[in-house]
Amino acid sequence: MSTLLIEGGQRLSGSVEVEGNKNAALPLLAACLLTTEECVLTNVPRISDVEVMARLLLDLGAEVEGIGSTTLRVRCAEVVKDEPDAALVGRLRGSVLLIGPLLARRGRARLAPPGGDFPARRTIATHLEALAAMGVREIDGEGHALEAADGLQPASIYLYEASVTGTETALLAAAAAPGTSEIRHAACEPHVAELCGFLQQLGVGITGAGTSTIRIEGGGKLHGASHQLWGDYIDAGSWAVVAAVTGGEIEIAGARAEDIEVVAAVLRRMDVVCAMDGDLLRVEQSRLKAAGRITSGLWPGFPSDLVSLVTVLATQAEGRTLVHDWLYELRLFALEQLSGMSADLFLCDPHRIIVTGPRRLRGRQLDSRDLRSGMALIAAALAADGQSRLTSLETVERGYGRLVERLQGLGAKVAKLA
């Protein structure tokens, strides 16, 4: 378990580049199991979550080249078992995305409880309901044991919750179900649309990508494909906050303007000076003001993944901001550590927090309890007076590749301690 040592009070400047979207890379890798032919993914983020998923594919019988690089080549002529390695599954919530391809290739799937952030609070009930509509039934076994005795069947599915991974699970299964399936109340996030585009390249007929109603013509023979991942807008938004909270100036390259729009809209409400030019987001030194209210939402609402970071930003803004994350509760609990840094916070309930600023933050020992709040606490430490230590760094590195290297490239005084 590593610790990140951070000397705060440095104004960061320079340029940083984001790689592909973590939340797209995982379902795209799972989709590679649907075909026996080679698939090539480029601009893959070099993060630990992707490495775990790649090793899960290896465990299932796939050939995977390029682990640890931005180009992965995957070929799975044969899926050799229906139960992925439980230890790897326990490290990655995205392992749930393997269920559909396993049911398609083996007729069965046995999955240990997926790990990741707050696994006990994040169920896969939406995934299981969608699969049940396609003829999948639960069988005896530990964890999640599923069987499609008569093969996956096309279905008309209404998702009770517009879950991203629930939608992706339904898409991956429907791709192998012979006939027309329809998913209503589907998630509309860019990474869901990106998965739809990749499935189309494999040979699946899909209409409605990026909308709440997706129709799938599945069951045909699928072939290989190549795809360059779209840039990670959550990564880009995180660096924009790092720039603004330290009073710095940073250019962030690699994310699509249409994805950054939802982030930039909130930053501008806080008087962050930022502009998009093609795939380049420029953030300039800004005098921050409170936004009044920031509420997370389903796409194209403000992403819950950035709630922790804008909460830190609000500590440096003039006035009072109510941050409301109705999707998740434990992100805000993790941010209680900001109070120990001298932030003025009032936790209304598990979903709402009032932040009054600006406040000079003080460095301290920090605990990265989840991926996104971990990055937010790093941003707070960069803005704080004095020294902070954040443990464990590995939690944050699950979603932010080459984190220490990129921070140092912007002038941050940070060091990774074993």
Domains and CATH numbers, the chain: 3-18+231-417 (3.65.10.10), 22-228 (3.65.10.10)
Catalytic residue among 49, 117, 232, 279: 117
Three-state DSSP class for 142?
Answer: coil
Residue 117: its pLDDT value, please?
58
* pLDDT tens by residue, the chain, 418 residues: 899 999 999 999 999 999 999 999 999 999 999 999 999 999 999 999 999 999 999 999 999 999 999 999 999 999 999 999 999 999 999 999 999 999 999 999 999 998 765 544 568 999 999 999 999 999 988 889 999 999 999 999 999 999 999 999 999 999 999 999 999 999 999 999 999 999 999 999 999 999 999 999 999 999 999 999 999 999 999 999 999 999 999 999 999 999 999 999 999 999 999 999 999 999 999 999 999 999 999 999 999 999 999 999 999 999 999 999 988 776 777 788 999 999 999 999 989 999 999 999 999 999 998 999 999 999 999 999 999 999 999 999 999 999 999 999 999 999 999 8
Rounded to a whole number of angstroms, the CA Rg of the chain reads: 21
Strands (E) across 148-291 are located at 156-158, 179-184, 205-207, 213-218, 226-228, 249-253, 273-277, 280-284
Distance from C-alpha of 137 to C-alpha of 129, rounded to nearest angstrom: 10
Quick check: helix, strand or coil at residue 211?
coil
Asked about 344 being catalytic, the answer comes back as no
CA distances from residue 78 to 52, 85, 199, 269 in whole angstroms, order as listed: 20, 17, 19, 52
Residue 330: its pLDDT value, please? 67
Q: From residue 308, how far is each of 118, 193, 325, 338 by CA, in Å?
A: 15, 25, 9, 11
Instruction: Judge whether 157 and 172 are in contact, CB under 8 Å.
Output: no
Query: Quick one: pLDDT at residue 142?
Result: 83
From first CA to last CA, the distance across the chain in angstroms is 7
Neighbours of 374 (CB within 10 A): 28
- Can you name the residues that pair with 357 across neighbouring β-strands? 319
